[in-house]
Structure 1
Amino acid sequence: MTPTIHLAQQADADALLGRSPLAALVGMLLDQQVPMEWAFAGPHTIAQRMGRDDLDADEIAAYDPDAFAELLKEKPAVHRYPGSMAQRVQALCRFLVDEYDGDASAVWRDVDDGHALLTRLKALPGFGEQKAKIFLALLGKQYGVRPRNWREAAGAYGEEGSYRSAADITGPESLAKVRAHKQELKRAAKEAKNG
């Protein structure tokens, strides 16, 4: 069953995220230093610029690095830092080709424990602890990937009814709640710094 995703807040981009495990991973990779919708629309933009309906890890991994960077830099740019993100997307795809035969869903397929899945996600290029936990929560909450202990492995991001991250966005209302949560965290951090 293909999940209904609302991370990009654009029908075509969200449809791709719902049907393509690689698009979901690339969107999560791009989700830093730009609005979430921009990041998660990125995989669809990349696919379009490659003349495809979907992303293919083998094709991206083998793409000329300079030409791939130009695809991401084309206006409107896929990310605020399109050159470095092009390198990261290609590194992720090379890893998937080398370790999982280019099949992004193999990262979580047949994993029966949330902590084991978290370890696999943290091994992906560009996925640190926090990004891996958010993606694990996204898999559990929206993609139906729920190995034993997945909520515990995802930490606070796995909590039911929370509005902390991309894992919790199911439409405009939840997006606004996640944004408000992030703004509150920034405000609290600023107050603590100025203390």
Structure 2
Amino acid sequence: MTVTLRLAQNPDADALLSRSPLAALIGMLLDQQVPMEWAFTGPYTLLRRLGGDDLDAHRIAGFDPEEFAALLSEKPAVHRYPGSMAKRVQQLCQYLDEHYGGDAEAVWRDAGTGAELLARLVELPGFGKQKAQIFLALLGKQLGVRPKGWREAAGPYGEPHSHRSVADITGPESLDKVRAYKQEAKRAAKAEQQAEA
């Protein structure tokens, strides 16, 4: 099953995310404090600077940290905070190299249950529970990775026909729906804070 993710809204970046499990994990890691498209274009930008056909966890893990941070900082920067995110990307790749032989897909390939897969994702550097649940929902909804109980393990992000996160984005229209959901959630949270004050 060949699936084309549309998270970067850029054909080349989305093609990389679709074929490279490591690129998808790095994009998810970068998806904070920047627009989603910027985060998910990051792996493609990184690949172009590193050269080669695909991202390699072992190679990234072994990079000199200062040189790697400089790579992410070149204009256009891979992230709003390229130095700290360079460190996180390297930590993720070092973990994958050490625990999964550098094979990002091994994180989910043989997971027997959704709970087991969620536990594996939460163990990844830079992945808290919410990020892990969103990525689990992305795997289940768009990439056909559906171990028993995956929707339950993904929490609200696993709900069908919802527009809560990147797991639900399949094009510009669904992107707009997810943005609207997030804006409404922020407004509600702000109103709640003001009510408590």
TM class by smaller structure: over 0.9
Partner of 1:194: 194
**Cα distance in 1 for residues equivalent to 2:111 and 2:50:** 32
**Cα distance in 2 for residues equivalent to 1:47 and 1:58:** 14
Deviations 1:94-124 (A, max 9, x none): 0000000000000001112000000000000
Q: Structure 1, unaligned stretches of length 5 or more? A: none
**Letter in structure 2 aligned against 1:194:** Q
1:99 is paired with a residue whose SS is helix
1:103 is paired with a residue whose SS is coil
Deviations 1:49-87 (A, max 9, x none): 001231000000001110100010000100000000000
Aligned residues: 195
In the TM superposition, residue 3 of structure 1 has moved relative to its aligned partner by: 1.2
Partner of 2:95: 95
2:105 is paired with a residue whose SS is helix
**Letter in structure 2 aligned against 1:128:** G
**Cα distance in 1 for residues equivalent to 2:178 and 2:53:** 30
Partner of 1:115: 115
In the TM superposition, residue 2 of structure 1 has moved relative to its aligned partner by: 2.7
Partner of 1:166: 166
**Cα distance in 1 for residues equivalent to 2:2 and 2:28:** 18
**Letter in structure 1 aligned against 2:148:** R
**Cα distance in 1 for residues equivalent to 2:37 and 2:6:** 9
CA-atom RMSD, angstroms?
0.6
**Cα distance in 2 for residues equivalent to 1:52 and 1:186:** 40
Query: Retained in 2: the 8 A contact 1:30–1:39?
Result: yes
In the TM superposition, residue 168 of structure 1 has moved relative to its aligned partner by: 0.3
**Letter in structure 2 aligned against 1:145:** V
**Cα distance in 2 for residues equivalent to 1:98 and 1:64:** 17
- TM value normalised by structure 1: 0.99
Q: Structure 2, unaligned stretches of length 5 or more? A: none
Q: Which runs of 4+ in 1 moved over 6 A?
A: none
1:98 is paired with a residue whose SS is helix
**Letter in structure 1 aligned against 2:42:** G
In the TM superposition, residue 45 of structure 1 has moved relative to its aligned partner by: 0.3
Q: 1:13-52 counterparts in 2 under 5 A?
A: 13-52=13-52
- TM value normalised by structure 2: 0.98
2:154 is paired with a residue whose SS is helix
Partner of 1:180: 180
Query: Retained in 2: the 8 A contact 1:49–1:71?
Result: yes
1:75 is paired with a residue whose SS is coil
